[in-house]
Structure 1
């Protein structure tokens, strides 16, 4: 269950659609309930296939939905998810085991996120709260009246590493994949890139893969700042085309601070790119300094780290080869196992739930945490 779903392209939409299809492929009967129409965001989604998709216009339109016909409800929410929050609370109060996964950072939003959940009657509903990263879980726990620990159900990708990346002559290529919207910070990314160009003699280029409400403004900034020869904004691309751009790049840049996980950055890490992002994000699930990339405390520090990577080709190669030859443990196989453990917890009697160990997130090298 999610307010936003395919055909909208984004982290939560991609994760929910892939989770549903993977569960259906192993034999589960999966229904997705959403308010997103089949034609949205300039695309149309084919609802035929093993996953049943129910598209409602509102809570009132979905109120006849028979939750009693299902063994479990898994609700995916962001900061504001009015439809999913209300429907999840309704399912839980009707006695259906309900897992709620938060795909956003709740700190820095004041009372907005907790107030939204309270207004939807979800905050005190008998649900199992989970989050997509440890950082998101820590922030979520501070806003909940229940137990202080929140299980982590991380996102996952299964993408192959690129072939050995041998650079020829030419610029160092940075890439960033995002919905070009304020929360992803595309304009500060351009400021970082401009500062990087001023601070190094190395020729460097940036490709921004994606589309969104700030695309026109970003492209205007590129032209006005004289960056048209160095910055490309591709617009929305299909997944195979995104992977093609990642495979041809040298460094991945993730400028967002309120990044609860960083699905696009995980894809880049799995392809074999060094990743540079912000330390206060959920990317700490799969990036540690000097191993898979670097997580920095500020935009100024991001400029410094990018300059080091741009100027030090052996360092770039070392991190790239580590990422290319050491597969991430955040695979769909492990994600399905983590979700199954959460489902078992949600379905357990309250006394058993209090004694049960929490689901764990697998660390960068495959260890449990």
Structure 2
């Protein structure tokens, strides 16, 4: 019998790092969950940025099924258009998966791309003409290059069909999940984090960036209405100095410690930050999936979030929802959680149950089926 040649699946992990918090976490969890599911003749090869931090945490173990190759070219660099295809050929890659839309237009091997959202096309006024133009060209090239396009929500799949005319037959909807570290944390861990960050026993929490579509300025304005509860709003996440509006609005409203901007919190402490919160709020105008919502639910925190795009399918009765552009509705949802402990208990129960419906094992298993489909199916019409 002729031996079966192993199939090398190359997962592009160059998006692991501080510039890509959500996509990096998606990539790390796939890299961890895929190896135990691989067939006898399949192996996973990670293309890694050699300067990425803490890579040992997610590349260690199972060397027979998972290995790492350093690639010193940024996803933003034009030269990746020829460097990555050359490396794929040299490595004998059977398939290439880019978890981000910036990828070679001609990878030279069967390819899969994950599209998280099309926010620059849905909200063009939030971006410069240059940003919109570069995104549009890049994402169109990516979906043309891929045999299968993974959408992380039904909302993103609809956008791919309607805005980029991607055939539904080429789209696979595969949801993300909370990292296993996100679960209710013990009181000593929560108390230690509160002491370190000088947080009170009761606080509300937002986790995410301050990009315009995150709707933080409106959240700050709504929180000013609720300051009589004496519960501070803690805003955690990397801060982009290009978008100072939320901080400026908080200062103009004289909110002081009623709104605290604490910057990024490392993953080791983030679960405790979630677990200690009285409630979690996520007012985004648009999301591809909404990882912070499912992370908060997994930590047992009652959630109020907008019903925009994927968030409505993610919440599914497990969060209080509001229209992202309706300040009164946002205030009502937050007021309900702030004043009613029974409502908080009920939403905590629903959130934990909802989060348990998602797992990275399921996500990885569905992704592996996409790889096999891309390897065996005919080239899709571009």
Q: TM-score, normalised by structure 2?
A: 0.75
Aligned equivalents of 1:225, 1:314: Cα separation in 2 = 31
Cα deviation per residue 1:29-54 (whole Å; 9 max; x = unaligned)? Answer: 433446x6726xxxx45467444342
Which position in structure 2 is the counterpart of 1:367?
A: none
- Structure 2: tracts of 5 or more residues without a match: 1-11, 61-66, 125-131, 188-199
Which position in structure 1 is the counterpart of 2:359?
A: 331
Alignment of 1:22 onto 2:33: yes
Cα deviation per residue 1:252-293 (whole Å; 9 max; x = unaligned)? Answer: 11121121111111100111112222212322343123xx11
* Aligned with 2:150 (options 130, 150, 153): 130
Which position in structure 2 is the counterpart of 1:151?
A: 172
- Structure 1: tracts of 5 or more residues without a match: 355-369
Map residues 116-127 of structure 1 onto 2, 5 A cutoff: 116-118=138-140, 121-125=141-145, 127=147
Aligned equivalents of 1:350, 1:220: Cα separation in 2 = 54
* Aligned with 1:11 (options 12, 15, 22): 22
Which position in structure 2 is the counterpart of 1:357?
A: none
Which position in structure 2 is the counterpart of 1:189?
A: 219
Map residues 106-121 of structure 1 onto 2, 5 A cutoff: 106=119, 107-109=121-123, 112=133, 113-118=135-140, 121=141
Question: Kindly tell me: are residues 9 and 122 of structure 1, through their superposed partners in 2, closer, same or farther at Cα, counting changes over 3 Å?
Answer: closer
Cα deviation per residue 1:297-342 (whole Å; 9 max; x = unaligned)? Answer: 2342111111112122211111113334665221111111111121
SS of 2:203 mapped into structure 1: strand
Q: Which has the higher helix share?
A: 2
Tell me how far 1:216 sits from its aligned partner: 6.0
Question: Kindly tell me: are residues 123 and 322 of structure 1, through their superposed partners in 2, closer, same or farther at Cα, counting changes over 3 Å?
Answer: closer
Aligned length: 327
Map residues 260-275 of structure 1 onto 2, 5 A cutoff: 260-275=288-303
Tell me how far 1:15 sits from its aligned partner: 1.0
Alignment of 1:66 onto 2:88: yes
Alignment of 1:284 onto 2:298: no
Which position in structure 2 is the counterpart of 1:162?
A: 184
* Aligned with 2:114 (options 101, 104, 120): 101
Cα deviation per residue 1:61-93 (whole Å; 9 max; x = unaligned)? Answer: 525323471121111225xx3xx1xx1x312xx
| CA root-mean-square deviation | 3.1
Aligned equivalents of 2:24, 2:17: Cα separation in 1 = 6
Are the equivalent residues in 2 in contact too, given 1:33–1:56 (CA < 8 A)? Answer: no
Aligned equivalents of 1:2, 1:73: Cα separation in 2 = 11
Question: Kindly tell me: are residues 182 and 2 of structure 1, through their superposed partners in 2, closer, same or farther at Cα, counting changes over 3 Å?
Answer: farther
SS of 1:4 mapped into structure 2: coil
Are the equivalent residues in 2 in contact too, given 1:75–1:100 (CA < 8 A)? Answer: yes
Tell me how far 1:59 sits from its aligned partner: 4.0
Alignment of 1:56 onto 2:73: yes
Alignment of 1:31 onto 2:45: yes
Alignment of 1:204 onto 2:231: yes
Aligned equivalents of 1:114, 1:221: Cα separation in 2 = 32
Are the equivalent residues in 1 in contact too, given 2:183–2:271 (CA < 8 A)? Answer: no
SS of 2:172 mapped into structure 1: coil
Alignment of 1:295 onto 2:325: no
Cα deviation per residue 1:123-152 (whole Å; 9 max; x = unaligned)? Answer: 433521121111111111113344235211
Which position in structure 2 is the counterpart of 1:90?
A: 106
Are the equivalent residues in 2 in contact too, given 1:101–1:153 (CA < 8 A)? Answer: no
Are the equivalent residues in 1 in contact too, given 2:182–2:295 (CA < 8 A)? Answer: no
Question: Kindly tell me: are residues 226 and 37 of structure 1, through their superposed partners in 2, closer, same or farther at Cα, counting changes over 3 Å?
Answer: farther
Which position in structure 2 is the counterpart of 1:254?
A: 282
SS of 1:55 mapped into structure 2: coil
Q: TM-score, normalised by structure 1?
A: 0.77
Question: Kindly tell me: are residues 226 and 145 of structure 1, through their superposed partners in 2, closer, same or farther at Cα, counting changes over 3 Å?
Answer: closer
Cα deviation per residue 1:99-126 (whole Å; 9 max; x = unaligned)? Answer: 11101235414575443334xx434335
Q: Which moved more, 1:141-150 or 1:232-241?
A: 141-150
